[in-house]
Chains A and B, each alone.
Chain A
Amino acid sequence: MILTNIETVPGKKIVGHYGLVSGSTVRAKHAGKDIAAGFKNFFGGEIKGYTELMDESRREATQRMIELAKRMGANAIVNVRYATSAITAGAAEVYAYGTAVKVDSIQPKKQVENG
């Protein structure tokens, strides 16, 4: 499954499209990460626990979007966008959406003439 966040897949031609597909997850942190993050209150800096949390959520949301596209029969998703929102102080939703399409390699000019 090819994913891009531009409107085409470079080097290929779009031959059909299946509409909007999306995937989302809501994840909350657990108490252990909370305590570690509490220490960061003194130092500032990157909170690796939450970064991994957001990374996993993003990957899962993307995975769900790919699943949906596969079931439709698509082989690429174009114009992928992400939206993150905080639900409560401890939970965030990652929402991934894009257009599912079928792409085909661009036929070289010689073959087209023969056909």
Chain B
Amino acid sequence: MPDNFDAEAARKIIMSDERINVTENNPIKELFKICVNLALIIGSFYLIIFMLSGIILFNLPAKNQVQLENFFSKLIETKVVKISDADQKRLLTVRNNILNADKNFPKTSNLDIFIMDDTKTNAFCYPNGNIYITSALYKELTTDEELTFIIAHEMGHYKHKDHLRNMRDSITGSIVLIGTVFVDPSNQGLTKMTASTIDISNLKFSRVAEEKADKYAIKMLNILYGSSKAGVEVMTKLKEKNRSNIEFLSTHPNIDRRINYIKKLSY
């Protein structure tokens, strides 16, 4: 063995930096390729479920739709504050004004309006069409025009079936995320990444829905009062009030952008 050992051959291989045991590839390119493939697969899965649930939800017969709406509204029902008769009359008058101005409003709900106790200024439209305004917000709405803007905005959400859109988004998101849990059960990295991406895309869609509701409210203001200055006023007032109110800013789109959008529509 000492005589026929060829050291030179071994030296040549070391000098040539040959690494047969490691596949030469660029890890960044590989990561990119895998991510693109994953995005395509998960994206198409999401699209299929999205369209299926959309078709089912938006084409429910009216009776089932009302049942679904009442069911979900029961889940998130909250305590309301007793208000004076004068306030009650004011709220109902504003609502009836809007219903008279818009003959095409879907008649599948009572459209009751309630005031709920909360220190944060906010307004919600429940799936069954009932509108809830927080006591903090109601205090700020001094004129009838400002109240009309808020109530018309929420009624716009109901008219555009935004509650159905939200349901479709949550169902699709949950199914896709559960799917990713099964694909990668040991290390939840894939699920976390998909969840972040779904969040980002949902934010964009909710912004579009908010702008449509604002547009509807401006239209109502123009029909009932001739001008929509109240819309800009109430948003500016809320912006000042909500310097520190993070929750309002997180569920509604960027308030400056909204003010600019409303200004563009009004003038």
Q: Are A and B direct contacts in the complex by CB distance below 8 Å?
A: no
